C-alpha cells in the first residue's frame, strides 16, 4: 500500500518526465516493457486497435463484436497484460482513487 501511494504521488505531481497518461503512449511503453507501474481505472473502457509496428492506436466508440478477423481489443486490458508480461506492477483502482483524471496512468522505468 505504501508503494502504491508513493507511485500515485509521483504520478499526481508529475515528478520526472517518466509519467504518461496518454493511452497511445502508455500502449507503446507497455509493449516495449518500459512501464514500472500502471494505474488503471477499473470502471473505464477503451476499445480499439493498437499497431505496435507504427506505434499508433485507433479508438472505437463501442466494444468489439468478437469477430476473429477484427483487430479491435480492450486496450486497457492490453496495456495491463503487457505491463505484467514485462514484470511491471499494475493497480486497478476505483475512479476516485486514480492519481490523475485519466483512464490509465503510468510511471515509466526509462
**pLDDT, tens digit (0-9, with 9 covering 90-100), for 14-71:** 756 789 999 999 999 999 999 999 999 999 999 999 998 999 999 998 888 888 888 8
- 50-88: burial string, b at 16+ Cβ within 10 Å, e else: beeeeeebeeeeeeeeeeeeeebbebbebbbebbeebeb
Q: What is the pLDDT at residue 100?
A: 93
Nearest to residue 21, comparing CAs of 33, 32, 12? 12
Q: What is the pLDDT at residue 24?
A: 97
- pTM comes to 0.87
Rounded-to-integer distance, Cα 37 and Cα 54, Å = 24
Q: What is the pLDDT at residue 29?
A: 97
pLDDT of 7 strictly over 80: yes
Residue-by-residue DSSP string for 25-91: HHHHHHHTT-EEEEEEETT---EEEEETTTTEEEEESS-----TT---EEHHHHHHHHHHHTT-EEE
The three three-digit cell numbers of residue 78, written as one number: 492490453
pLDDT of 109 strictly over 80: yes
Q: What is the pLDDT at residue 15?
A: 59
pLDDT in tens, 88-102: 999 999 999 999 999
Amino acid at each position: 500500500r505504501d508503494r502504491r501511494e508513493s507511485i500515485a504521488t509521483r504520478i499526481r505531481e508529475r515528478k520526472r518526465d517518466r509519467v504518461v497518461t496518454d493511452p497511445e503512449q502508455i500502449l507503446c511503453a507497455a509493449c516495449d516493457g518500459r512501464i514500472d507501474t500502471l494505474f488503471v481505472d477499473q470502471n473505464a473502457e477503451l476499445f480499439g486497435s493498437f499497431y505496435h509496428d507504427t506505434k499508433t492506436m485507433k479508438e472505437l466508440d463501442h466494444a468489439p463484436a468478437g469477430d476473429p478477423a477484427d483487430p479491435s481489443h480492450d486496450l486497457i486490458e492490453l496495456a495491463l497484460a503487457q505491463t505484467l508480461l514485462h514484470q511491471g506492477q499494475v493497480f486497478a483502482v476505483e475512479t476516485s482513487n486514480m492519481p490523475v483524471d485519466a483512464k490509465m496512468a503510468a510511471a515509466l522505468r526509462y
